[in-house]
Structure 1
Amino acid sequence: MGVHHSPDTSDFTVLGRVNIGYRVLRIVKELLSTANNHKRLLASSARSVSVDRLHRHLLRFRICGFSGSVKKPKHEHPSRLIQGLDCRRSEVSGKRFWGLFREICGSNPYLFFKNCFIYNQCPIALMSDTGKNITPAELKASESKVLLAFCDKALTKVIQLLKVHLVVGIGKFAEKRACIALNEACLKEVKVVSIPHPSPRNAHCSGNWKEVVAKILTDLGILDLLSGN
């Protein structure tokens, strides 16, 4: 998460699980162009729907009255068709993550969205011929090095545009990539921390993930911001 303070607003960015994707180098380059040409679009999380997966989790939080269309790539896997806002698939990590912030914000989701936006290190999905997700760990070192270089550049552009001063990675991988990206961009004034990943495979806090994250957010001063206190 990245927190930015100004006289009137506070923003913080959440770096989610990294999913690497189809034609990723071209698409990440397009994200850089989008960041440069549409600053207001990126700053308004409720309207950031032009790139599928970039704010997918944000959209699933379901702002009242929100509607829109999600564009598709030219090629889709037949078993992983993009359904946009009509998608009804659910997964444990997202449900656990958004469930926590729903509890914190109560009946007012705007407490979250006026302060927060979601940004994946790489907002694309790469899958095998059978439709199985391919994770960064499964890529060859030469492939991931080139890919992550573009992703890191896009991340720093977003951080600079929104004047973020605190980044909270969801999981150690996101934290590590943020540190590398910010160091290479000489943005050492931006603080980077992390919260445990909400995946059920995270054995370190699978049973008390909510409590662990709540304490971290409290220590960072973010919990009061989101609860309206």
Structure 2
Amino acid sequence: MAQCDDDEQGNVPTSSTSYPHPLSMVPNSDTATQFFNIQVWLSQQLKPVHFSDPVFMTYNPMEYAGGLYFYFLQRFCIATKRILILGMNPGPWGMGQTGVPFGDIDTVKYYLGLEELGGFIGQPSPQHPAKKVTGLKCHRKEVSGAKLWGVIKKLTNDCPAQQALLNLCVHNFCPLIFMGTSGRNLTPDEVKAGSSKEQLFNLCSIALSYSLDVLGCKYIISVGRFAEKRARSVIKTFDKSQKVLEIPHPSPRNATSRANWEENVISILSTADLLSEFSNPIQYT
């Protein structure tokens, strides 16, 4: 896998010293609270950023499902991690409904055991009629999330989630969902080039840099090419030491994920000698 040192978009992250540090008010808090506050900070910084056509509307799950997300972190991110699994941005039927990265409904309710916390999910305002948020009552399937959490369960030998996630944190580079006029899902790459896109990528990169500091992880497993590019850009710009490995994105829009996706992921992790990080979870502090 070739390393991507140059950002093809031309969006090089700015120095984090241009912004207030998100942990300045909570310097001695636990890992979960620190990580959550970084995401709150990022959401606040992105709030005034305006996106033009083709973006018609955005959702930020941190604003209406942050309560459940905080409980997710309190349960599964109480200490530092060995691996950060990094996605692109929330999907409308996964994290867009639950607040949990790649969080398809069944995974959040039954595997992660957060069904009783559905009351902590509100609704964005305004809402697009094609992308209604109904939280844990949503009947749509998040294919990408089901596949990703499915392979995590397989790699960790179907052990309980709290044990399976001892070494792992699942996260997205960008917290926003982008929609076109019809409600069609747009990726961050599809945001129109210009100052808004530069701000988006810069702020998300700074937040990822802070997040890596809090997690103390050794590896970043990027889900798809976009996440890999962003991770490598952050590693280079902020002088981080994490090793980056790409796995194919499980989205149905990705032709390479339609056949043997799980087998391909396991093969990539095996080649990188990372299978033991999943099958033998140890609590690192």
TM-score under structure 2 length normalisation: 0.59
AA at the equivalent of 2:102: H
CA drift at 1:71:
4.1
Residue 117 of structure 1: aligned partner = 169
Which of 189, 212, 218 is 1:159 aligned to? 212
Paired with 1:36 and 1:59, the residues of 2 have a C-alpha distance of: 33
Do 2:104 and 2:142's aligned partners in 1 also have CA atoms closer than 8 Å?
Answer: no
Residue 145 of structure 1: aligned partner = 198
Paired with 2:101 and 2:222, the residues of 1 have a C-alpha distance of: 17
Paired with 2:189 and 2:166, the residues of 1 have a C-alpha distance of: 34
Paired with 2:168 and 2:24, the residues of 1 have a C-alpha distance of: 17
AA at the equivalent of 1:73: P
Gaps of 5+ in 2: 1-20, 37-68, 75-89
CA drift at 1:58:
4.4
Residue 172 of structure 1: aligned partner = 225
Residue 217 of structure 1: aligned partner = 269
Paired with 2:185 and 2:153, the residues of 1 have a C-alpha distance of: 28
Paired with 1:72 and 1:159, the residues of 2 have a C-alpha distance of: 30
AA at the equivalent of 2:263: E
Which is worse superposed, 145-154 or 125-134? Answer: 125-134
Paired with 1:166 and 1:107, the residues of 2 have a C-alpha distance of: 22
Which is worse superposed, 138-147 or 160-169? Answer: 138-147
Do 2:251 and 2:257's aligned partners in 1 also have CA atoms closer than 8 Å?
Answer: no
**CA deviation string 1:112-146 (max 9, x = no partner):** 22221211111211112322212223222113222
Residues 50-199 of structure 1 correspond to what in structure 2 (within 5 A)? 53=96, 55-58=100-103, 60=105, 61=107, 62-64=111-113, 66-68=115-117, 69-105=120-156, 106-142=158-194, 143-187=196-240, 189-199=241-251
CA drift at 1:148:
0.7
Structure-2 change in CA distance of 1:66 and 1:115 (3 Å): farther
Residue 16 of structure 2: aligned partner = none
AA at the equivalent of 1:111: Q
Q: SS at the partner of 1:161?
A: helix
AA at the equivalent of 2:181: D
Do 1:57 and 1:94's aligned partners in 2 also have CA atoms closer than 8 Å?
Answer: yes
Which is worse superposed, 205-214 or 57-66? Answer: 57-66
Do 2:220 and 2:244's aligned partners in 1 also have CA atoms closer than 8 Å?
Answer: yes
Residue 47 of structure 1: aligned partner = 72
Do 2:220 and 2:245's aligned partners in 1 also have CA atoms closer than 8 Å?
Answer: yes
AA at the equivalent of 1:74: S
Which of 259, 265, 272 is 1:207 aligned to? 259
CA drift at 1:197:
1.2
Which is worse superposed, 169-178 or 84-93? Answer: 84-93
AA at the equivalent of 1:211: E
AA at the equivalent of 1:48: L
AA at the equivalent of 1:57: F
Gaps of 5+ in 1: 1-31
CA drift at 1:171:
0.7
Instruction: Count residues in correspondence.
Output: 196
TM-score under structure 1 length normalisation: 0.71
Do 2:115 and 2:136's aligned partners in 1 also have CA atoms closer than 8 Å?
Answer: no
Paired with 2:238 and 2:265, the residues of 1 have a C-alpha distance of: 28
